[in-house]
Chain A
Amino acid sequence: MTSLLSLQQITKAYPGVLANDAVDFAVERGEIHALLGENGAGKSTLMKVLSGLTKPDSGQIIWKDQAATIPSPQASKALGIGMVHQHFALFDGMSVGENIALGLGTQFGATQRDQIIDMSEKYGLPLDPDALVFTLSAGEKQRIEIVRALLGEPELLILDEPTSVLTPQEADSLFSTLRLLRDEGRGLVFISHKLNEVRALCKRATILRGGKVVATCNPAEKTAEEIAEMMIGTRPVPTAKAAQKLGETALDVRDLVTNDLRIPALSVRRGEIVGVAGVAGNGQEALYAYLAGEELAPSADVVRLNGVAAGRFGPSERRSLGSAFVPEERLGHAAVPDFSLIDNTLLSNLGTDGFQSRGLINWQLTREHAVEVCDGYDVRHAGVTGRAGSLSGGNLQKFIVGRELIKRPEVLIVNQPTWGVDMGSAINIRDQLKALAEAGSAVLVISQDLDELFELADTLCVLNHGHLSASQPTSAWTAETLGVAMTGDVNREVAA
């Protein structure tokens, strides 16, 4: 049988980087083919070639035995290639139906409404065509992308990190849909960082590293560790967090009840890492805001930092009590994209001694400090005067985590520490968090990544629809019980 799609010797260079170096890649009909690699390995570039967003410098695209060129996104669609983007290519201010109509190049009308409903029933992707996109959850937004791609009747469907924002249950239901599509004879390309998913779903994987294909294998026959080793070169050995005696309670939250949160009790002791699991949009942002002082608690004694009633303190006052904060949004919340790394270093250090005196900034010290953060936390950059926005996600994340860690905070609150970060950087950041706790600080990690929480946390609790469950030792949880706690009972309509 001939391949549905075959890429031969695709090469694409950007200034300073060879993003794709003679890459061969083939997808058969009725196959879910995994494309693996770290961020920067060249997966995105290869997919951009397929979706017509970029032209390769050399190499051939063979589509159903015919040489093809894909000069534009329209051409890609016309060939029969559908794309589900990782960062949803959606129009937030428009309805689900309008979004889908735009993908099809039609006007949204009664026919489209019927088509959408048919398609969503056929593949188990429930959607309301009239809902406005900005009111939807990440899982629902992804369903829009999938239905939109499917309505174009693609023979090849590319899914870029489709499960990164889904609950285990939502991911399972997505996999049923993907298997259904595979059995219809379509080709699927599945890009993911989650190796266990890849092993469950795919019979063939192509692994990219540094722009080159380093291996093609059947992932089901390899262990996750073996695949990871192929992806990043050296075997990743996350250092285990040393068991240790826990100190006194450093962060203590009691009866924090607001419009969108119900936190009966949450405490972190010195030397402990507490994990807060949950699907995005279940109150993580609010929890972070109340802990970091971006939102003030109803009364002061609701949040205690080192025994001090800090509930009515703002972020600067809380920082001065020895705590530090790393928000989820790297660009725009943790760092100002158009500011230099030096400026960004200053932003969370305005209250730190020495950075300013009598209203004047000590630029010398700030610059040295920025260099120290970059050197100490393996931030690869083109100079500390460069824009923060020009760093890759992983490096920027290492920078904003390092900026706080270097202060050796007694309490660290971090929201989604490795979201969208490459594997090498993620291991680095997790190791740093563990080292901080081992040195006797209290660390609270809010994360959607269950593997990460199982690796890091001593104690886990679950945030579901703003309600925080009781904490239990991590060993008492399984992925299944967590999954249920993340979606179950608490008056939340469970996505079918």
Chain B
Amino acid sequence: MSDLIIQILAASMLLATPLLLAAIGELVVEKSGVINLGVEGMMLIGGLAGFIALYQLQTSTCTMLIGDVCFTSENSVNQFQYIGSLLVAALVGALAAALFGFLTQYFRANHIAAGLGLTVLGAGLSNSLGGNFFGVDYTAAIVASVPPLFPESWGEVAVLGPLLFDQNLLVPFSFVMLIAVWFFLSRTKAGLVVRAVGENHHSAYALGYPVIFVRMMTIMFGGAMAGLAGAFIVIAQIAPKWTEGITVGKGWLALALILFSTWRPGRVLLGAYLFGIVLALEPRLKAIFSNMSLEVSYFLTALPYIVPVVVLVLISRNPVMIRRNAPASLGQSFEPRS
């Protein structure tokens, strides 16, 4: 039984991490008063960029030189190559976000329209580039799996081994970032300024804070986190593999989580893991109760999307806390009054 629980928890970490990464980034963006609906698009572009980078790093590293012929090892990736590809994913995500930032902050485009545009652009661009990027068809490219962060023997330690040690680098990173973002927003001066810009951009400007600069920074941070989330799905969640539209709506789910968690980092974590756990539970329940009716089976499939929303809505009903945490300038373009 405890094995099953550990299995489910370990699986839920894989499922929750991309959600958590994307949501943490977008949380900071929204706290600064910007709503970027392009999370899904940035995840796709970032994910593809990370995959391409990993493929290139792997194939360009010679393990053996015989004459002029470079033999690459196609069945191993080291941690440095993986981190390098993640950096590329984050950078490309941030660049895609910067495009959104320029449109919304400098040209005062409507946030919703620009965000939806970014999602469409991300989906389209990743589809076409994934099929042919400088002559390589990445839908057919083969990349070796990323090794776990810790020695494999640690992951075999009884009970908690698989949970603590048999994990991808981004899993602990997502927790570190969650705590860092919580600390940043609630305990640092810069975080206070970010919240002030999101709460009332006119007041923030009148007090001398650079509203547009702050928002550009948060937007790019959000893009970088979305890029990482995409890269995790493409590279680490199963085996490295690029297929079109691989994020299947996780970006939208991340956006919804922020809303239902009323902009509170702890609740974003709760929502992401509720989703992960229920999703991980589903095939196992179906395996155990193999004679369940079709209706129940469909309901189980829908459950991961229902449970986090219901739970978060039920625990986040306090209007004072919503007023306290919801950024009042969300989605409004800032134009200095002259």
Residues of A within 8 A of B (CB): 14, 51-54, 72-74, 76-77, 83, 85, 88-94, 98, 101-103, 105-108, 132, 134-135
- Interface size in chain B (residues, C-beta < 8 A): 27
A95–B327 CA distance with the chains assembled, in angstroms: 14
Contact of A92 among B189, B328, B338 (CB under 8 A): B328
28 residue pairs bridging A and B, Cβ less than 8 Å apart: A14-B338, A53-B338, A54-B338, A72-B208, A73-B208, A74-B208, A76-B208, A77-B208, A88-B203, A89-B200, A89-B202, A91-B195, A91-B200, A91-B203, A93-B199, A93-B326, A93-B328, A94-B199, A98-B196, A101-B189, A102-B196, A102-B204, A102-B209, A105-B189, A106-B189, A107-B187, A107-B192, A108-B192
Given known pairs A94-B195, A94-B199, A108-B192, the reply for A73 and B206 (CB within 8 Å) is: yes
Q: Is the CB of B206 within 8 A of A93?
A: no
Q: Shortest distance in angstroms between A99's beta carbon and chain B's nearest beta carbon?
A: 9
Selected from A73, A76, A83, A93, the residue in CB contact (under 8 A) with B325 is A93
- CB-based A-B contact count at 8 angstroms: 72
List chain B residues, Cβ under 8 A from A14: 338
B207 touches A107 (CB 8 A): no
Q: Tell me how far the C-beta of B124 lies from the nearest C-beta in chain A, rounded to whole angstroms.
A: 33
Q: Which of B175-206 contact A (CB under 8 A)?
A: 187-189, 192-193, 195-196, 199-200, 202-206
The residues of A that contact B338 with a CB separation of less than 8 Å are 14, 53-54
CB neighbours of A77 from chain B (8 A): 208
Interface-central residue, B187, B199, B208, B336, by most chain A CB under 10 Å: B208
Query: Do A93 and B324 touch across chains, with their CB atoms under 8 A apart?
Result: yes
**Inter-chain contact B189/A107, CB cutoff 8 Å:** yes
Chain A residues closer than 8 Å to B188, beta-carbon distance: 107
Docked complex Cα distance between A254 and B208 (Å) = 52
Complex contacts, A76 vs chain B, CB 8 Å: 208
Within 8 A of A (CB), among B307-338: 320, 323-328, 336-338
**Chain B residues near A51 (CB, 8 Å)?**
206
Assess whether A91 is in contact with B324, with CB atoms less than 8 Å apart: no
Contact with A along B199-228 (1 / 0, CB 8 A): 110111111110000000000000000000
A105 surroundings in chain B (CB, below 8 A): 189, 208
Which chain A residue has the least Cβ–Cβ distance from B189? A107
Chain B residue at minimal CB-CB distance from A52: B208
Q: Which of B199, B206, B326 contacts A85 (CB 8 A)?
A: B206
Chain A nearest CB from B213 CB (Å) reads: 13
Q: Which B-chain residue is minimally distant from A77 (CB atoms)?
A: B208
The answer to whether B189 touches A73, judged by C-beta atoms less than 8 angstroms apart, is no
User: A248–B226 Cα gap in the complex (Å)?
Assistant: 70
With A77-B208, A93-B199, A94-B195 in contact, is A132–B324 under 8 Å at CB?
A: yes
In the complex, the chain A residue whose C-beta lies closest to that of B337 is: A53
Add 7 more A-B contacts to A94-B199, A105-B189 (CB < 8 A): A83-B206, A92-B328, A101-B192, A103-B207, A106-B189, A107-B192, A134-B323
By a CB distance below 8 angstroms, the chain B residues around A54 are 338
Residues A89 and B203 in contact in the complex (CB < 8 Å), given A106-B189, A107-B188: yes
By beta carbon, the residue of chain B nearest A108 is: B192
CB distance from A163 to the nearest CB of B (A): 21
Q: How far does the alpha carbon of A302 sit from the alpha carbon of B328 in the complex, in Å?
A: 38
Residues of A within 8 A of B336 (CB): 53
Give the docked Cα–Cα distance between A93 and B205 (Å): 17
Min CB gap A424→B, angstroms: 24
Complexed CA–CA distance, A72 and B204 (Å): 13
B330 CB to closest chain A CB (Å) equals 11
Check B206–A89 contact: CB distance below 8 A. yes
Q: Are A73 and B328 in contact (CB under 8 A)?
A: no
Chain A contacts for B200, CB-based, 8 A: 89-92
CB–CB B192/A98 < 8 A: yes
Q: How far is the CB of A79 from chain B (nearest CB, A)?
A: 12
Please provide the 7 A-B residue pairs with the shortest distance between their CB atoms, ordered closest to farther: A73-B208, A89-B203, A74-B208, A107-B189, A91-B199, A89-B206, A102-B196
The residues of A that contact B195 with a CB separation of less than 8 Å are 91, 94, 98
- Residues on A with C-beta less than 8 A from B337 are 53
B187 neighbours in A (Cβ, 8 Å):
107
- Is A73 in contact with B205, judged by CB distance below 8 angstroms? yes
**Chain B residues, CB < 8 A from A53:** 206, 336-338
A94 partner, pick from B196, B207, B209, beta carbons under 8 A: B196
Closest CB of chain A to B51's CB: distance in Å? 41
A270 to B207, CA, bound (A): 50
Please name the residue on chain B nearest to A91 by beta carbon: B199
**A392 smallest CB distance to B (angstroms):** 14
Q: Which residues of A contact B207 (CB under 8 A)?
A: 73, 89, 102-103
Closest A residue to B325 using CB positions: A93
Residue interface bits B154-194, CB-to-A below 8 A is 1, else 0: 00000000000000000000000000000000011100110
Residue among A73, A77, A93 with the most chain B CB within 10 A? Answer: A93
| Distance between A153 CB and nearest chain B CB, rounded to angstroms | 16
Chain A residues contacting B320 (CB-CB under 8 Å) are: 132, 135
A242 to B204 CA separation, bound complex (whole angstroms): 50
Shortest distance from the beta carbon of B182 to any chain A beta carbon, whole Å: 15
Cβ contacts under 8 Å, B189 to chain A: 101, 105-107
Identity of the chain A residue whose Cβ is nearest the Cβ of B320 in the assembled complex: A132
Name the residue on B nearest A78 (C-beta).
B208
A74 nearest in chain B by CB position: B208
Residues facing A in B30-61 (CB within 8 A) are none
Complex Cα distance A51/B205, Å?
11
Tell me if A92 and B206 are in contact (CB < 8 A): no
Q: What is the minimal beta-carbon distance from B54 to any residue of chain A, in angstroms?
A: 40
Report the Cα distance A54→B196, complex, angstroms. Answer: 22
Distance from A87 Cβ to chain B, minimum over Cβ atoms (Å)? 9
For the complex, what is the distance from the CA of A76 to the CA of B338, rounded to whole Å? 16
A83 to B204 alpha-carbon distance, docked (Å): 14
Taking CB atoms, residues of chain A closer than 8 Å to B204 are 91, 102
Q: How far is the CB of A410 from chain B (nearest CB, A)?
A: 39
Q: Kindly state the separation between the CA atoms of A330 and B188 in the bound complex, as whole angstroms.
A: 38
Complex: how many Å from CA A85 to CA B196? 17
The distance from the CB of B183 to the nearest CB of chain A, in whole angstroms, is 12
> CA of A89 to CA of B327 in the docked complex: distance in angstroms?
16
Closest beta carbon of chain A to B63's beta carbon, Å:
51
Which A residues lie within 8 Å of B199 (CB)? 91-94
Residues in A neighbouring B196, C-beta threshold 8 A: 91, 94, 98, 102
Residues of B near A134 (CB, < 8 A) are: 323
Q: Among the listed A74, A83, A93, A102, which residue makes an inter-chain contact with B192, where contact means beta carbons less than 8 Å apart?
A: A102
| Assembled-state Cα–Cα distance A92/B204 (Å) | 12
Residues of the A chain whose Cβ atoms lie less than 8 Å from the Cβ of B192 = 98, 101-102, 107-108
